[in-house]
Structure 1
Amino acid sequence: MTPADLLTDALGRVREDVDGVLDNLDDATLHASPGNGANTIGWLIWHLSRVQDDHIAGVAGTEQVYTAEGFAERFALDLDVADHGYGHTPEQAAAVSGFGADLLAEYHRATYARSAEYLAGVSADDLERVVDTNWDPPVTLGVRLVSVCNDCAQHVGQAAYLRGLFGSWAPPSG
């Protein structure tokens, strides 16, 4: 298994879990908060998809799926199209609403497809390339991709927990 295969598999597992969380999910549950200022399933999945889209496009040197494929217009959020939710206040996170689970699932699948396409061309040597000098030490492609996998896995786990809290959810088999 190559590093690209490993990273694609990790993000593929997130995609499967996103599909499971969103399957037959009604809008009220999608945008319900479990408590004062807590993130919703909708925000968590939107955020993890936006971060994956932003970070993969950044290292690939491509336009984000969110803008390239018209998702920004379809979500119709009162946010800058570059916003991916990092640092959102509870009020900003609550405003990420008004869309359905089907649109969110479609966006995440498109983001995953673009990610898998990019990762297919990544070699082990590529992982050493510095992609962000704003940190000390500078961030390599490998570190950035592991960070994306970690962030996405954490947030889909939080969304799955909320889905279980609000009702029933069975994870996909495999």
Structure 2
Amino acid sequence: MFSLYEDALASMDDTHVNHFEREGVLPIAFSLFHYVNMHDASYMMLTGTTPIWNDEWQQRVGVTVNDHGKHKTVDEMIHQRIGDLDAFTEYMRAVYSRTLDWLASMNPADLDRVVIARPFPPQIASTFSARVAADHGLTVLDGIECWLYQHGLRHMGEIELAR
């Protein structure tokens, strides 16, 4: 799936990524930053490791809304733009590389570890991952499948349609 993001970025420049279609339609910049930044945050939930995104990355990438936007409205996130697409691509690659290294070194027994037990807090209860979780809660495997993979494919569909 990561190669789909690489291919998409290779076929666009900042004009495409930041294009404003019309009111109520989020730019590609939103889908790109939202997914990669949520992936970075989800990695923290799965591993306990601090996200890569920080003030230094914000200065380099220059997103206009320094937020993944999960709890924001379309009216707020319609303004999302990526200032430096090369820096964003570097950030994306760092996030993906770290995930791939973790997956390659993972003990398969870790996949069953519960990361969020039931009952789920409201911000999890309303997600797709809550629908697939077992009675005991969300596991590392659920997080990988839902937060990293399925979420990435959903946003790639948006990006492909917008391109």
Taking structure 1 as the reference length, the TM-score comes to 0.74
**d(CA) in 1 for partners of 2:30 and 2:89?**
13
2:60 maps to which residue?
A: 74
Between the aligned partners of 1:98 and 1:56, the Cα distance in structure 2 is 22
| Equivalent position SS for 2:115 | strand
Conserved 8 A contact 1:30-1:100: no
Q: Compare relative contact order (CA 8 Å, sep 6+) and give the higher one, 1 or 2.
A: 1
Question: How far is 1:119 from its partner?
Answer: 1.4
- Report whether the alignment pairs 1:86 with 2:85: no
Shift of residue 124 of structure 1?
2.2
2:69·2:77 contact (CA, 8 Å) conserved in 1? yes
In the TM superposition, what whole-angstrom CA distance separates every residue of 1:15-61 from its partner, at most 9, and x where no partner exists?
21112111152322211244421121111011110111110122111
What amino acid maps onto 1:140 in structure 2? T
Output the CA distance in 1 between the equivalents of 2:23 and 2:9. 23
User: What do the CA deviations read for 1:82-108 (whole angstroms, capped 9, x no partner)?
Assistant: x32213212321232141332222111
From 72, 92, 113, the equivalent of 1:129 is 113
Matched, 1:162 2:162: yes
Quick one: distance in 1 between partners of 2:101 and 2:82?
30
Q: Secondary structure at the match of 1:66?
A: coil
Q: Partners of 1:97 and 1:71 in 2: how far apart?
A: 14
Q: How far apart, in 1, do the equivalents of 2:3 and 2:110 lie?
A: 27
Given that 1:33 and 1:39 are in contact with CA atoms closer than 8 Å, whether structure 2 keeps it comes out as: yes
Aligned residues of 2:64 and 2:82 also touching (Cα < 8 A): no
Give how far 1:157 is off. 2.0
- Residue 66 of structure 1 deviates from its aligned partner by 1.0
1:144 alignment partner in structure 2 = 143
Q: CA deviation at 1:73?
A: 2.6
Distance in 2 (alpha carbons) for counterparts of 1:104 and 1:157: 19
Check the 8 A contact 1:18/1:105 in 2, yes or no: no
Aligned residue-pair number: 147
Structure 1 unaligned spans of 5+: 1-12, 164-174
Q: Which runs of 5+ in 2 are unaligned?
A: 121-129
Question: Quick one: distance in 1 between partners of 2:115 and 2:45?
Answer: 9
SS of the counterpart of 1:132? strand
What is the SS of the residue equivalent to 1:25? coil
Q: Percent identity?
A: 22
